[in-house]
Amino acid sequence: MAAATQDLERFVRDALAQGQSRAQVQAILAQAGWPPEQVRSALSTYADVDFPVPVPRPRPYLSAREAFFYLVLFATLYLWAFHTGSLLFDLINYAFPDASTYDAPWTRGHQSMRWSVAWILIAYPVFLLVARKLSRELAHSPVKRLSAVRRWLTYLTLFIAATTLISDMAVLVFNVLGGELSVRFVLKVVVVAAIAGGIFSYYLLDLRREEVEA
């Protein structure tokens, strides 16, 4: 696979060096059966500038510092999402108690709510600070958008969010088929869908925006 990628990049470099346009190179590679994403990636290796020979773009590289910040970013995102959901679940339980097990729902959920609020008050500000710092770095150096750790963690987040949404819908359908719907249950389904769906939509749009800019 690595050898094929090197061959593709070498072909693109030689074609551009001989004066072929990017559109011509892309068209001929498409005729040869190369996947569009690989062609775009190979073409993006060289800057679209007026110069006698192809000018390579700077390549992203992985550093321990970069990995640290992205791990903190996504870890705090997961913590915020989980504890926000937990807090909302406790509030729903308090507003719509289960009559069969009713024994002071506020007392039962008080400690859980305290933990959730504590985590939210710590994790969310840290997430915002790290996200702001990384956004500034990306604006200053767009090539960092191609960071391997950033893309892997983004796709992992999409996978977790998609799995959560699918599971949420499956539980909803299961209860609908069993005729076991209640306001309390529906609200919890909505909470999970809103949190997971919001995260999924944001990062999916972010990836698509990168593809358009590339």
CB 17 within 8 A of CB 53: yes
Q: Residue 51: exposed, middle, or buried by beta-carbon count in 10 A (0-12, 13-18, 19+)?
A: exposed
For 82-91, what is each residue's pLDDT tens digit? Answer: 999 999 999 9
Rounded to two decimals, the pTM is: 0.77
Q: Are 208 and 169 in contact (CB under 8 A)?
A: no
Q: Encode pLDDT of 129-158 as tens digits.
A: 999 999 998 888 777 777 889 999 999 999
